Amino acid sequence: MRHIDIFNGDADGIISLIQLRLNEPKDSILVTGVKRDNQLMNDFEFKTADQVTVLDISMEKNQAGLKKALDLGAKVEYFDHHRAGDIPQHDNLSAQIDTSADMCTALLVDAKLKGKYRHWAIAAAYGDNLIAKANELAEAEGLNKEQRNQLKELGVLVNYNGYGSSIEDLHFAPAELFSLLSSYCSPFDVITDPNSPFRELKKAYEQDMSLAKSVSPHYQSSSLKVVILPNSSWARRVSGVLGNELANSDSSRAHLILTKRNSDTSVVSLRSPISKKYGAGDICAKYDTGGGRESSAGINSFPLASLNSLVSDIESFYCVKSLDKKTNI
């Protein structure tokens, strides 16, 4: 019998699995990838009697792979907070899905484990930009401001590492980063160990963010800011965390980050306004290769010629009828 762990390569996916495997170690097959690899079940060759854990990838995007696994007799435990589509009713499927704006997969796992590794769950919530929820849990745990900031930094760094068009863009392959981090019982042990991945990621993050902050907004209105990043490894790595940082510093606006793939297409990251944490997933799902959740979503391959249409969709959704200036590429 095989055990297969299928998980998103961002902070939420990695830290969700860390909690589960600290609680119940398994010699499992690890199936993961960069953050945008969100159809990980569909290409996997399942076998009868497989035991499968799926974390932080949309069930809606993995219906084919899920059906294949269940039809073969595999048992699947599924934790996620993205769009689910139709959840199959099957004796071999245990699905814990919650698409609430203030929920992430690591918090679903934390609930299952009754807070056994709560500090890890808090780091994941910070990494997934659930700042208010993470602060609430940290305060309930009696963590001081310095400890909260440490968990936030770790969560952001692990999340940052997941962004890229391929594993080659990343500083650590997600499976490798999971294996390194899961050797620590506490996230604070990661932070204090000079040989952990923490310091390497911190240095790289600071360099990439410095480059990102030198890019001027492409377009700005009362409800939306658009930033277009170049086709480069640093830009692909920083696109998600830049969106989060901009959203946190300007809570009334939505933020749209486009990272060029070539002269015609880009990868899109959309953050809803912090004051209106809904709609991002629905907006992006209107476009091919798009999807996500209420507060954070993306489009894997977006034609730059359609930028005006996307801007109009975002501003119409958030009740702004006119543009402050044109969005010509």
Percent of the chain at pLDDT exceeding 90: 92
State percent of the chain over pLDDT 70. 97
Looking at residue 149, its pLDDT comes to 98
Enumerate the CATH 3.10.310.30 domain ranges in the chain, comma separated.
219-317
* pLDDT score at 223: 93
Gap between the Cα atoms of 281 and 298, Å rounded? 7
pLDDT above 60: residue 327: no
Q: What is the mean pLDDT of the chain?
A: 94
**Is residue 14 within 8 Å of 181, Cβ to Cβ?**
yes
pLDDT of 326:
40
CATH of domain 3-203: 3.90.1640
CA distance 128 to 159: 7
Do residues 201 and 157 lie in contact, with contact meaning Cβ atoms separated by under 8 Å? yes
DSSP assignment, residue 235?
Answer: H
Strands (E), the chain: 3-7, 29-31, 51-55, 75-80, 93-97, 219-220, 224-229, 254-260, 265-271, 290-292, 296-303
Residue of 2, 82, 77 lying closest to 35 (CA atoms): 82
Sign for the pseudo-dihedral over CA of 45, 107, 208, 143 = negative
In sequence order, the β-bridge partners of residue 290 are: 299
Output the pLDDT for position 52. 98
Q: What is the pLDDT of residue 245?
A: 93
As annotated, the residues of the chain forming the CATH 3.90.1640 domain(s) are 3-203
pLDDT tens, 43-81? 999 999 999 999 999 999 999 999 999 999 999 999 999
| Amino acid 101: pLDDT | 87
Could you identify the residue written with the tokens 């690890």? 30
For residue 293, name the pLDDT band (cuts at 50, 70, 90).
confident
Query: Residue 320 pLDDT more than 60?
Result: no
Q: Dihedral, CA atoms, 38, 41, 42, 44, nearest 10 degrees?
A: 130
Render pLDDT for 97-156 as a digit per residue (tens, 0 to 9). 999 989 999 999 999 999 999 999 999 999 999 999 999 999 999 999 999 999 999 999
Q: Is the pLDDT of residue 196 over 80?
A: yes
Q: Quickly state the pLDDT bin for 218 (edges 50, 70, 90).
A: very high
Q: What is the mean pLDDT of residues 167-175?
A: 97
Q: What tens digit of pLDDT does each residue of 248-292 get?
A: 999 999 999 999 999 999 999 999 999 898 999 999 999 999 998
Whether residue 274 contacts residue 237, with contact meaning beta carbons closer than 8 Å, is answered with: no
Token pair, residue 234, equals: 């640093």
Give the separation between CA 270 and CA 296, rounded to whole angstroms. 6
CATH architecture, domain defined by 219-317:
Roll (3.10)
| pTM to 2 decimal places | 0.89
d(CA 290, CA 201): 28
Averaged pLDDT, 282-303: 93
Distance, in Å, from the CA atom of 90 to the CA atom of 303, rounded to the nearest integer, reads 39
